[in-house]
Amino acid sequence: MSTSANSRNHNARPGYQLHDAIDLLGWEDQSIWGWDEGTSSFFAQLWRNGSSSEAPEIWLTGARKPYPWPGCIALDIVELIEADPLAVVQALGIADPEPALRSEDDIARHADQLTSLNDRSEYIGGQLAALTWTRGQSELTLSTRAPWDQGRPSAARADAEHHLITGRVYLGGDPVHGGSFFNGADEALWWTLGR
């Protein structure tokens, strides 16, 4: 899949008239996603390849749970089928076309500045967790708490994590961390990606 295909929906926002395929290996034959005006939400319908069912195996709809941002859809797909976050972000076409990470030294300096604030809020904790992960010094990903032993993530993988974190922000956090933690992580990843 070309970079342009991975980024065809990069600018998708609420209200964006979108109805597109989900090019995820093993699910790409029939699966779709897009914006539903009726529920003011993104949606996704996923069928495993070879399925003859009329009903999707996974149906993410704003009628059951609001999906106000593309990252919300990406996050739930990752968690429901235990898929690779980068593969899902690329399959939805929402990947940054030219992702870049700040240098490890810049990230370390920023983390040191935050640590010197002596602020123990969840918001700062989320920022520090994101900076630690982007430096390759965390054993878990931020968004799904999946094991991470791959060192410093690539810019494309950090961009995918940012999509999932933004999804967490819009969905209100998770049972371990509240929304404030993910707001901090979202801001730090935004900065780390040079945005």
Helix or strand holding residue 35 (H, E): strand 32-36
In tens, the pLDDT along 64-81 reads 999 999 999 999 999 999
Supply the pLDDT for residue 2: 47
Pick the closest to residue 158 from 116, 110, 96 (CA basis): 96
**pLDDT at res. 62:** 94
At 3 the pLDDT is: 55
Question: CA-CA distance, 100 to 115, in Å (whole number)?
Answer: 24
**pLDDT tens digit sequence for 26-57:** 999 999 999 999 999 999 999 999 999 999 99
Report the chain's mean pLDDT, rounded to a whole number: 94
Q: DSSP for 83-126?
A: --HHHHHHHHT-S-SS-----HHHHHHHHHHHHHTT---HHHHH
137-188: pLDDT as tens digits: 999 999 999 999 999 999 999 999 999 999 999 998 776 777 799 999 999 9
